[in-house]
Structure 1
Amino acid sequence: MKVLLYLEGERMLEKSGIGRAFEHQKKALTCAGVDYTVDASDEYDILHINTYGFKSRQMIRRAKKNGKKVVYHAHSNAEDFRNSFIGSNQVASLYKKYLIYLYSRSDHLITPTTYAKKILESYGIQRPISVVSNGIDLEKYQVSKEKEAKFRTFFQLRPDQKVIISVGLYFYRKGITDFIEVAKQLPQYTFIWFGYTPMYTIPKDIRAIVKGDHPDNVIFPGYIKGEIIEGAYSNADLFFFPSYEETEGIVVLEALASHQNVLVRDIPVYEGWLEKDKNAYMGTTNAEFCQKIADIVEKKLPDLTQAGYETAQSKSIQQIGTELKKVYETVLKGHAVDSRSLEGMS
């Protein structure tokens, strides 16, 4: 069995969740001993496709013509497309039809959460759907005093300076405007939003926020990878992620793997793996976020980092490799995968 992992526009997507998921797939298959290639000219048995462009459609047609199996990783849906790029809301219904067209040409779909699976099922797609987390590289996010020192030095943070971080694209959907409003109410803390989106693709008011229309205690350093952000994940006083819609949220897994307290919006995607006040904190309004942030940072609420880390452990790269291998083997045999068995493994 040989798998072709395909990601169209890899350089453009490397900073996105899809790009990180693709890297996780490569590591997961290596751990599981699954032979794979990323070279579209190689021989393969299964096309595992991650993207939605013209070349992706061509790859599917070619694979089907040559009798190959197609596994589609459903990273996106119409719900998480809305409130993102300029014009996304206007074309969301067309995007939904396009996704249904693409997904329906696969032999099997993979999606990272039960919530995302339910959305696809509501589209009426008649294909087997397995739930497999995007996974997390636990080793990469182990706490390191050296990385933490590099983070604090990079931002010139005082030893007593309290820091709240978030990671994401500059989208309404990610809760960026709420992040700003909360920061305004808590001037005693420093708020850092890691991530980048080309300015020409986002609405004017979001551009204005990023370029300078934000409180002095907010920093937008852009896309930063490596030891600085890894140090930020573990050294910050809180990871605050007010996103309104996700298919999973790899950055949440990264924070949990970093032994960091996490505060997220209480939305359906977390059902089944995040439990309120057990392994993560949750809120719904900015007033609630403000209160919880203050209580967490000032240690008036229990530390949930160990329980959060155990959740990340259950979604390790090694575990994901085992689950992907099971999907591939079953697809080659022509049988539907019981997604409940996969969920029990994650």
Structure 2
Amino acid sequence: MKVLLYFEAQKLIAQSGIGNALRHQMAALEAVGIEYTTNPKDDYDILHINTYGLNSRHVVAQARKAGKPVVYHAHSTEEDFRNSFIGSNQLAPFYGKYLIGLYKLGDVLITPTPYSKQLLRNYGLTQPIYPVSNGIKLSKYQPNPVKEDKFREYFHLGSKEKVVISVGLFFIRKGIDDFVKIAALNPDVRFIWFGHINFATIPAKVRRIVKHDHPANVEFPGYITGDIIEGAYSGADAFLFPSREETEGIVVLEALASYQNVLVRDIPVYDGWLEDGVNVLKAQDVTSFNSKLQKLLTTDNQAMREAGYATAAKRSIPQVGQQLKAIYESLLQ
């Protein structure tokens, strides 16, 4: 069995969640011994497609013509397109119809969570839909004092200075507006938001937030990889993720795998696997976020962090590989 993992415009999506998904899918198939290619000109048995451009549609048409089964990975929904790019809210209904047209081309659909599966069912899609986590490389995010020191040195953090991090694109959907409001309530704490996007694609309000409409204790260092971000995940005092809509949230898994204190917005995608006070804390608005954050910064949350790690461990790359293998084998049978 050989699988074509197709991701259109790989360089453009490298810094996004879908870019992470590519790396995780490759690792998952390697973990279970499944041969794969990313070149649509190679021979293959199953197309596993992840992107939505015109080339993606062309690759699906080629697979159909050759009689090869198609797995469409539904990373995106109309809901998580809103409150992102300039004009996204106006375009969202049309984008949703476009996605439905593409997803109908799949023999089966894969989507990260039961929540996103329900959204797809609400669109009227009838083929089998499998919730499969995007997965997490547990070993990559194990707490490491050397990486943590590099993180603190890079940002010139004092030995006792509290720091709260987040990771994501500069979108209102990701809660960047609430992030800076919470920071304003905590002037003695450093707040660092990792991530970047082309400023020309985002609304002026968000550009202003990143450039100057934020308190002095907030930093936007851009997209950083390697030891510094990995050290930040485990070396920070809390991971604050006020996103308003996700299909899973790979960065949440990364924080959980780092034994970090995790604070998320109470939204449906987390129902059934993230429980307030058990493996994360959840909040609804700036006031409750601030209250919960104070708890994370001032109390011992070891049991919650360990429960969070156990949650991430259930979504390890080898386990994702086994789930993908079962789906592929069912298609070939």
TM-score between both structures, scaled by the size of structure 1? 0.95
Instruction: Tell me the amino acid that sits aligned with residue 256 of structure 2.
Output: L
1:91 corresponding residue in structure 2: 91
2:106 corresponding residue in structure 1: 106
1:62 corresponding residue in structure 2: 62
Note if contact 2:151-2:228 (Cα within 8 Å) is conserved in structure 1.
yes
RMSD: 0.8
Instruction: Tell me the amino acid that sits aligned with residue 237 of structure 1.
Output: D
For 1:191, what is the secondary structure of its paired residue?
strand
Note if contact 1:261-1:303 (Cα within 8 Å) is conserved in structure 2.
no
For 2:146, what is the secondary structure of its paired residue?
helix
Instruction: Tell me the amino acid that sits aligned with residue 225 of structure 2.
Output: K
Distance 1:285 1:74 in 2: 29
Instruction: Tell me the amino acid that sits aligned with residue 106 of structure 2.
Output: S
Distance 1:150 1:134 in 2: 28
Distance 2:112 2:268 in 1: 13
1:316 corresponding residue in structure 2: 316
Instruction: Tell me the amino acid that sits aligned with residue 73 of structure 2.
Output: H
- In structure 2, the gaps of 5 or more residues are none
1:251 corresponding residue in structure 2: 251
The reply to whether residue 179 of structure 1 matches residue 176 of structure 2 is no
1:18 corresponding residue in structure 2: 18
1:271 corresponding residue in structure 2: 271
2:138 corresponding residue in structure 1: 138
2:78 corresponding residue in structure 1: 78
2:237 corresponding residue in structure 1: 237
Distance 2:309 2:295 in 1: 21
For 1:3, what is the secondary structure of its paired residue?
strand
- Residue identity (%): 57
Note if contact 1:3-1:37 (Cα within 8 Å) is conserved in structure 2.
yes
Aligned-residue offset at 1:172: 0.5
Instruction: Tell me the amino acid that sits aligned with residue 75 of structure 1.
Output: H
For 2:98, what is the secondary structure of its paired residue?
helix
Task: Work out the number of aligned pairs and report it.
Answer: 333
The reply to whether residue 210 of structure 1 matches residue 195 of structure 2 is no
Instruction: Tell me the amino acid that sits aligned with residue 238 of structure 2.
Output: L
Regions of 4+ moved over 2 Å: 300-303
Q: Classify 1:30/1:301 alpha carbon distance in 2 versus 1 (closer, same or farther; 3 Å).
A: closer
- In structure 1, the gaps of 5 or more residues are 334-346
Q: Classify 1:9/1:88 alpha carbon distance in 2 versus 1 (closer, same or farther; 3 Å).
A: same
The reply to whether residue 128 of structure 1 matches residue 128 of structure 2 is yes
Distance 2:292 2:105 in 1: 45
Aligned-residue offset at 1:96: 0.6
Distance 1:70 1:64 in 2: 8
Cα deviation, 1:319-346, whole Å, max 9, x if unaligned, reads 000000000001122xxxxxxxxxxxxx
For 1:304, what is the secondary structure of its paired residue?
helix
1:291 corresponding residue in structure 2: 291
Distance 1:115 1:126 in 2: 16
Distance 1:310 1:74 in 2: 26
Aligned-residue offset at 1:62: 0.5
Note if contact 1:73-1:111 (Cα within 8 Å) is conserved in structure 2.
yes
Cα deviation, 1:237-290, whole Å, max 9, x if unaligned, reads 000000000000000000000010100000000011111110010010111111
Instruction: Tell me the amino acid that sits aligned with residue 234 of structure 2.
Output: S
Note if contact 2:248-2:269 (Cα within 8 Å) is conserved in structure 1.
yes
Distance 2:164 2:173 in 1: 19
Instruction: Tell me the amino acid that sits aligned with residue 224 of structure 2.
Output: I
2:188 corresponding residue in structure 1: 188
Aligned-residue offset at 1:298: 1.1
